[in-house]
Structure 1
Amino acid sequence: MSTGNRKKVACVTGGTGYIASALIKMLLEKGYAHLCFDPDETPDDTAKNCHLKELQGLGPLEILRADLDDEGSFDEAIAGCDGHVLDDESVSDVELLRAKKPPGWGYAVSKVLLEKAASRFAEEHGISLVTVCPVVTAGAAPATRVRTSVPNCLSLLSGDEAEFAVLRGIEALCGTIPLVHVDDVCRAEMFVAEAEAAAGKYLCCSVNTTILELARFLADKYPQSGDLLEKSRMCVSSVKLEREGFEYKYKTLDGMYDDMIEYGKALGILPK
């Protein structure tokens, strides 16, 4: 993982986030020298950045701050980085989401607009942009504040109706609950970053399921709530990623949820 005596350097934005925190941990364990910044929060915000301070024990993690409105403020963080520029992507229909306004629609729209802006920036500056698009992401991560997929996935156990509504909205729009473990998302991001031939967009999904199947699976460990009906579904495929040699580590619901139950307890989503 090094060139001569120099370690590879990676930059991850939004380091206080769920997936980003897991990616930072994996990169440090793989021997990367690491730069991390969050444009919305200050490095001194202890409540949000405490897990990053702990991760500094794994390797050279430098926490920087940049502002999207301040041209050139990202230069220090990106300088000296190896591999491709990585970002999440979304293939959601913006107009459909704006018209129907399902739970969480604003988050999905923001991801689409962000991806378009990143693509324009890459084109204008001659940057090779490779994107990994994770579906509903499960599993434990270092982050201690999680607002999206984890509470969604655990809503059948927590009884949180708002989070469950998001899960139903995903199934209604997609015809499936597409899942991937956060470790596999991080491995996929590193995989395309280190592959010289990687190009374009990669959908990252290892399991397609339904709310009913999730409920039946979780019924073995926790009481099932709600009268859920089986629905027809379609399958989300990540054939491009697998065709280029990536192999998923977590391919079953048991693997997806094994560490997330305890993670949910630690986050306060589930009772201990």
Structure 2
Amino acid sequence: MESQEEILEGNRERERVPTYCVTGATGYIGSWLVKTLLDRGYKVHATIRDPAKSLYLLSLWPSSNRLRLFRADLQEEGSFDEAVKGCDGVFHVAASMKFSVLANEDIETYVQTNIIDVTIKGTLNLLKACLKSKSVKRVVFTSSISTITAKDNSGNWRPVVDESCQTHVDHVWKTKAIGWVYVLSKLLSEEAAFKFANENGIDLVSVITTTVGGPFLTFDVPSSIRVLLSPITGDPEFFGILSAVNTRMGSISLVHIEDICSAHMFLMEHAKAEGRYICCAQNCKMPKLVELLAEEYSSSHIRSVENENDLVPPEISSKKLRNLGFNYKYGVEDIIHQTITSCLDYGFLSQNVE
């Protein structure tokens, strides 16, 4: 039987409010994750590179004595030691959003040295800090659907796409399709993270995020929303990224910002969570997506997309996550409606639509 002291200690442990560290707290997912954690009563250590950027968010995050801000730079070893000290878990959300680079004589060396190596170093610096802390029980790594492909080695569509359908690094280097720099940085940093975690006994789980939409707290319109709304805005870079995703996946997979943050928290706390998890509420073909955008935001300038074939798009499966017990709150129509409403309020889209 447990002694009275052991029972009291167990009760104190159950009553203790967990503390979580969020890297990249000024980004789209990071800022909303900080808000969600505070709303749910947790203590939060939010890391930022530029304190000035956090002033705007401080007015939007719930006012709380449970929030602490830390200036930290992924490129400085030891920079995260204080931020993760005493934390129960770490959400590694911070990431470079560089999709491409200007052509030069040795573009591969430039990308490897200035983007990939830098991203990997930053990830490992954070994991080393977690190792030093002795308190961090799990790290949740924010990955991306860019690391996944719906085509097999022969170039044929898979009927169902799951976490095992990873894009081959060699193929990305060879083809250099739109967004290839971002794809490589995500692929190789996640690979390095799991290797380090396995070698050092760190419990690491990754969330493979799809295109995120809905409201946002950031000062600027997030890149994922710019990609999602590119058929409306006509932005060539972001529409190119959306088209490249559709070409690789056969459809566009979507998730609401609240659901992606809930999934991060769910995987942080679920005892049986392990490995990689695709987080996709629904996926739809490009013509259907454009149709839904046009229904919500009527404009003669919206980009038309032809339905090239009658292919039933591969299912971007979130079965592994659902099987753990996770449920999505928002579908595609909700995501599009709330994204457009937020962008109208922000002034990114014009109120004077046709």
TM-score, normalized by length of structure 1? 0.89
Q: 2:269 matched to which residue of 1?
A: 194
Match of 2:142 among 79, 83, 88: 88
Which one has more relative contact order, counting CA pairs under 8 Å at least 6 apart?
A: 1
Matched positions, count: 266
Q: Which is higher, the Rg of structure 1 or of structure 2?
A: 2
Q: 2:33 matched to which residue of 1?
A: 23
Matched residues in 1 for 2:274 and 2:319: separation? Answer: 14
**1:223 and 2:299 equivalent?**
yes
Superposed displacement of residue 266, structure 1: 4.3
Q: 2:129 matched to which residue of 1?
A: none
Segment of structure 1 superposing worse, 60-69 or 177-186: 60-69
Contact 1:16 1:49 in 2 (8 A): no
Matched residues in 2 for 1:183 and 1:114: separation? Answer: 25
Match of 2:200 among 122, 125, 136: 125
Unmatched segments (≥5 aa) in structure 1 = none
Matches within 5 A, 1:150-229: 150-221=225-296, 222-223=298-299, 225-229=302-306
Q: 1:34 matched to which residue of 2?
A: 44
Q: The residue matched to 1:219 in structure 2 has which SS?
A: helix
Amino acid at match of 2:263: A
Superposed displacement of residue 50, structure 1: 1.5
Q: 2:320 matched to which residue of 1?
A: 240
User: In the superposition, relative to structure 1, how do residues 64 and 213 fare at CA in structure 2: closer, same or farther (>3 Å)?
Assistant: same
Superposed displacement of residue 198, structure 1: 1.1
Segment of structure 1 superposing worse, 61-70 or 189-198: 61-70
Matched residues in 1 for 2:212 and 2:175: separation? Answer: 23
Superposed displacement of residue 268, structure 1: 4.1
Superposed displacement of residue 5, structure 1: 5.0
Superposed displacement of residue 17, structure 1: 0.8
Contact 1:151 1:269 in 2 (8 A): no
User: In the superposition, relative to structure 1, how do residues 100 and 59 fare at CA in structure 2: closer, same or farther (>3 Å)?
Assistant: farther
Contact 1:88 1:134 in 2 (8 A): yes
Segment of structure 1 superposing worse, 190-199 or 114-123: 114-123
Superposed displacement of residue 78, structure 1: 1.3
Matched residues in 1 for 2:233 and 2:304: separation? Answer: 16
Contact 1:29 1:58 in 2 (8 A): no
Amino acid at match of 1:86: V
Q: The residue matched to 1:230 in structure 2 has which SS?
A: coil
Segment of structure 1 superposing worse, 72-81 or 130-139: 72-81
Matched residues in 2 for 1:268 and 1:102: separation? Answer: 32
Superposed displacement of residue 102, structure 1: 2.5
Q: The residue matched to 1:89 in structure 2 has which SS?
A: strand
Matched residues in 2 for 1:103 and 1:73: separation? Answer: 33
The percentage of aligned residue pairs carrying the same residue is 36
Alpha-carbon deviations, 1:102-156, whole Å to 9, x = none? 3222112111122122223322332100111111111112122244210011112
Amino acid at match of 1:261: I
Contact 2:287 2:307 in 1 (8 A): yes
Segment of structure 1 superposing worse, 20-29 or 225-234: 225-234
Matched residues in 2 for 1:270 and 1:13: separation? Answer: 30
Match of 1:50 among 43, 47, 56: 56
Superposed displacement of residue 244, structure 1: 0.8
Q: The residue matched to 2:217 in structure 1 has which SS?
A: coil
Amino acid at match of 2:57: H
Superposed displacement of residue 73, structure 1: 2.2
Amino acid at match of 2:176: K
- Give the aligned CA root-mean-square deviation in angstroms: 2.0
**1:61 and 2:67 equivalent?**
yes
Unmatched segments (≥5 aa) in structure 2 = 1-11, 90-137, 149-166
Q: The residue matched to 1:7 in structure 2 has which SS?
A: coil
User: In the superposition, relative to structure 1, how do residues 164 and 35 fare at CA in structure 2: closer, same or farther (>3 Å)?
Assistant: same
User: In the superposition, relative to structure 1, how do residues 113 and 269 fare at CA in structure 2: closer, same or farther (>3 Å)?
Assistant: farther
